[in-house]
Structure 1
Amino acid sequence: MNHPTTLHALNGRPSFGHRPWLAWLGGGTAVAIAYVLMPYGRAAAALYVLATFGAAALIAMALLRHTPPQCRSAWALIAVALGLAGTGHLIWYVLDLRGLDPFPAAPDFFYLAVYPLFMIALWRLGGPARKDDGALGDALIVGISAAVLAWALLIQPYLYDPELSSMQLLVSAGHPVFDLMLLPLVLRLVFRHSTRIDGQLFLLLGVLAYLAADLFYAHGNSTGWYQAGGVTDAGWLVAYSLFAAAAWHPSTSIDRDERSRSPELSRRRLYTLGSAAVLVPAIILFTAGVDHDTVRIAAGASILIFLLVLHRMGGLIRETQRQARALQALSRTDPLTGAANRRHLEAILADELARMRRLETPLSIAFLDLDHFKQYNDTYGHSQGDRLLRDVVAAWRQELRPSDTLARYGGEEFVVVLPHTDLDQAVTVVERLRHRIPDNQTGSAGLACAEATETPDQLLARADQALYRAKNQGRDRACIATMDDRVPAEA
């Protein structure tokens, strides 16, 4: 069910006064463009730092509004993460503008501290893990494929750089490694929830913009083309503005369970998984005989992807089986009371008659009807009448054996099938049932013991005739069917 505020936000003509998220998105984009166009210096540095802290403050303010975003703890972590990023930017610009270039330096540790907070926030926003959900497994398939590509392009060059110390290696490789850990969490969020043009999509685009800026920075830093004040830095600013817009968008306050998808594979999701599965063998193909380390990494990743695909297929099979069992149960069950329905009763009765003839054991059935049920409905309302029917079934089940069948025949009429039960025993059972009707209501019953030559319809007809006789005699009683009640079989 859509939140009314969300529909208003998505369908009407937006205005900045009533749509603050538009202001944050437009303002952040304008700041990113201004930063790229400005000459690199103190003014550009101040703009960048203030924009980062401003995004953190806007997200924190969103948590205090009348309709805060769902999972406030996750958004609080994102606000803290942007605060750490802003602190890192401030220190880095101070050092860079003074001509100092220590590596690693304090800003690197502030930047690396952002990732664990992002990971926890994304996991919480994705919701708790559910068995056979499939979203995390699918995300890992894509993430492992991306990890192989990132290894070949970004991580491996640092490992073979003899000029890097151990600490420098850890910090340099830390950014792409953390990015690869974030990617499955982002994809889990994409696969589990819908991506309409709302706060959910802004958040996803923000994380992807952040990852893209990180990857461009890592590649540019390793190859020497990165320069401060360029488009790469602007990518982080765009990400910050998307985070702020997401926190303020009305749709972010919608319960995430209302946006959850079913675990089925959509066509777009299937294409994504197929492309990811093909990527790793392609890397092996192009690097075989040239880069043995990459081949080993890619081969290991192929094995992991294959195992994840098997796990995913197993999950889909289990989900299909669960749905089949649920559908079968629905086809046999009365939706109001949970008792067997008329179709299932006919199948059960045919089986029990066949077993009775084969084993030569008695079989009895009883037609039961709630007395004056229409009057009860008129007095207390149909909802109370439905409640009475449910309570009757719950009470009667406590008096019956697991081998007995209780079915709703229609309206307030029920049929009880009692295998291995003669007529005297059936009378005892039915009297117990009649005295268990809630709300001091009474019931009438007609009983019949099956004959070897009877069909299910004939047996039901005899019990039904006995029920009518009980009603005609004043209700609140049970009558036993005789052979005179037998209806001739149709020719």
Structure 2
Amino acid sequence: MKSTQTWQILLGVALLLFGVYVAIPYGTFASAIYVAASVFAATAVVFAVRHRAPFYPAAWLLLAYGLALCAIGHAIWYWLDLYGLEPFPSLADAFYLAAYPLFAASLWLLGGQNTRDDGALSDALIVGISATVLSWALLIAPYVYDPGLTLLQLLISAAYPVADLILLPLVLRLVFLHRTRLTAHRLLLVGWFAYFAADLLYAHGNSVGWYAPGGLTDGLWLIAYALFIAAAWHPSAAVEPDSRASRAELSGRRLLILGAASVLVPAVILVTAGTQFEIVRVAAIASILLFLLVMHRMAGLLRETHRQAEVLEGLSQIDPLTGAVNRRQLDYELKRELSRAVRRQTDLSIAFIDLDHFKQFNDTYGHQAGDSLLKEIVAVWHGVLRPTDVVARIGGEEFLVLFPDTNSNQAQIVSERLRNLMPHGQTFSAGLATLQPDESAENFIARADNAMYQAKSRGRNRVVFAVP
């Protein structure tokens, strides 16, 4: 069976189990279907790791182990509920809550070990802290102020939204970091939002009394499991994620998300002010944390802007093919060295170099081989020249080498060394010139250029001195 069909078939089977569970009356058969669907999800993800070899297999295995713990929790919960026992709190909650650390580790690994994702994590934390305030106001606070709950019931009731709030920044980090380029990640992310929605509805339903097993709320967890299966079996799960988002990226959509998250906290303060002092206190603390995170984010953007400016400045000075400096940077270097030579009364020499029969080399071996030859030549030259010497590419196969503090005899020795190190039997013709008193840069280069043409006319593969 083709992998492009396998994930669709497995998704269809999982969704069919969801449909049957929601359609039939709640009871023993429905409970058995639910537990079977949970076991099917964990098993299918494990088989995907073994037979489809997804990227970051450990992350997918952690997800499968978490689903297995959930399956055990479902079996215990339904057994207690069908026998008329109070299922909350129970041993099932221990298995449910134990799955969350595995889910968190899975999401962290799927995000990769990128060392430049602090922008994605900071943005995710901004949204996560705002969601914390909203969750406190809607889900956690009602349990805190419920005098009918024991301490254990209070802790377990609050543990589920808290666990979701820990997972939420990790999910958002994955969104911001990879921009959900992979279909497998898209399926996984939609599955997690379905999982969060189920937890949210379950917690709210329990707090106000409308939740009952066997309905759409429980079905949302099955939808999440179905999407997890499809994600693990999708062919794109085997592709290495490409971290498209840099620390500096702040798209319009992302900025809208961060802005909405920042506005959410003061909105909660406005709604609850004067009625729930504890919620106002939590919201105020979150506002401070959000401000600090936004400042950290802006500082990161500023650092990245400076780094990119330095990179662009370097690109504007370097020939992208060979790594030699370009004509623009040569003009700057030549002007600086001319001024230095005049000021300090030191020698300055240049070599105007043109490769021999380079067009014939391209025609014989192809332009790609010609480009490789140019890169190799410059690399060889850089290996023998001083750090103060400058190699500039000024044409297709024309180069100019700048020799500070170098007289004509020294320049000839170095130029001959460069000629003898030419790879693949390639040769060059070069014209040498040493700076004369009161000579302009244009005349300096022109003399070396003329000497190079003399080397060509004398049979190529030689170095000729320019006439003073």
TM-score, normalised via structure 1 length: 0.88
Amino acid in the other structure paired with 2:42: A
Equivalent of 2:153 in 145, 168, 171 = 168
Amino acid in the other structure paired with 1:210: Y
Equivalent of 1:321 in 258, 283, 306 = 306
Question: For the residues of structure 1 that align with 2:361 and 2:317, how far apart are their CA atoms?
Answer: 28
1:417 positional shift: 1.1
Question: Are positions 1:393 and 2:375 aligned together?
Answer: no
Residue ranges of structure 2 left out of the alignment (5+ in a row)? none
Question: For the residues of structure 2 that align with 1:132 and 1:454, how far apart are their CA atoms?
Answer: 54
1:122 positional shift: 0.8
Question: For the residues of structure 1 that align with 2:377 and 2:369, how far apart are their CA atoms?
Answer: 12
Does the CA contact (< 8 Å) of 2:81 and 2:87 recur in 1?
A: no
Question: For the residues of structure 1 that align with 2:5 and 2:181, how far apart are their CA atoms?
Answer: 17
**1:213/1:444 CA distance change after superposition, 3 Å:** same
1:17 positional shift: 10
Question: Are positions 1:296 and 2:278 aligned together?
Answer: no
**1:379/1:34 CA distance change after superposition, 3 Å:** closer
Aligned ranges 1:114-153 → 2 under 5 Å: 114-131=99-116, 133-153=118-138
Question: For the residues of structure 1 that align with 2:373 and 2:98, how far apart are their CA atoms?
Answer: 60
Question: For the residues of structure 2 that align with 1:17 and 1:445, how far apart are their CA atoms?
Answer: 61
SS of residue in 2 equivalent to 1:410? coil
Aligned ranges 1:85-484 → 2 under 5 Å: 85-101=70-86, 103-131=88-116, 133-195=118-180, 198-257=183-242, 260-263=244-247, 264-377=249-362, 381-483=366-468
Which piece of structure 1 moves more, 383-392 or 416-425?
383-392
Does the CA contact (< 8 Å) of 1:212 and 1:235 recur in 2?
A: yes
1:443 positional shift: 3.3
Does the CA contact (< 8 Å) of 2:45 and 2:61 recur in 1?
A: yes
**1:189/1:17 CA distance change after superposition, 3 Å:** closer
1:381 positional shift: 4.8
Question: For the residues of structure 1 that align with 2:182 and 2:312, how far apart are their CA atoms?
Answer: 35
1:155 positional shift: 1.6
C-alpha deviations, 1:64-96, integer Å up to 9, x for none? 33x433222211221221111111111111111
1:384 positional shift: 4.0
Question: For the residues of structure 2 that align with 1:366 and 1:129, how far apart are their CA atoms?
Answer: 45
Amino acid in the other structure paired with 1:47: I
Equivalent of 1:35 in 1, 21, 24 = 21
Amino acid in the other structure paired with 1:335: P
Amino acid in the other structure paired with 2:48: A
Does the CA contact (< 8 Å) of 2:11 and 2:230 recur in 1?
A: yes
Aligned counterpart, 1:44: 30
SS of residue in 2 equivalent to 1:134? helix
Which piece of structure 1 moves more, 379-388 or 31-40?
379-388
Question: For the residues of structure 1 that align with 2:55 and 2:65, how far apart are their CA atoms?
Answer: 17
**1:198/1:395 CA distance change after superposition, 3 Å:** closer
1:132 positional shift: 5.3
C-alpha deviations, 1:280-324, integer Å up to 9, x for none? 111222222322222221111111111111121222222222222
Amino acid in the other structure paired with 2:236: S
1:189 positional shift: 1.1
1:431 positional shift: 2.8
Residue ranges of structure 1 left out of the alignment (5+ in a row)? 1-14, 484-491
Aligned counterpart, 1:488: none
1:265 positional shift: 1.3
SS of residue in 2 equivalent to 1:332? coil
Amino-acid identity (%): 57
Equivalent of 1:64 in 44, 50, 53 = 50
Question: For the residues of structure 2 that align with 1:365 and 1:260, how far apart are their CA atoms?
Answer: 44
Does the CA contact (< 8 Å) of 1:132 and 1:319 recur in 2?
A: no
Amino acid in the other structure paired with 2:22: V
1:361 positional shift: 3.0
C-alpha deviations, 1:195-217, integer Å up to 9, x for none? 36932221111111111111111
Aligned counterpart, 2:59: 74
Aligned counterpart, 1:487: none
> How many residues in Structure 1 have an aligned counterpart in Structure 2?
467
Does the CA contact (< 8 Å) of 2:117 and 2:177 recur in 1?
A: no
Aligned counterpart, 1:24: 10
Does the CA contact (< 8 Å) of 1:16 and 1:23 recur in 2?
A: no
Two-structure CA RMSD over aligned residues (Å):
2.4
Question: For the residues of structure 2 that align with 1:132 and 1:71, how far apart are their CA atoms?
Answer: 17
**1:276/1:17 CA distance change after superposition, 3 Å:** closer
C-alpha deviations, 1:457-478, integer Å up to 9, x for none? 2211100111122232233332
SS of residue in 2 equivalent to 1:448? strand
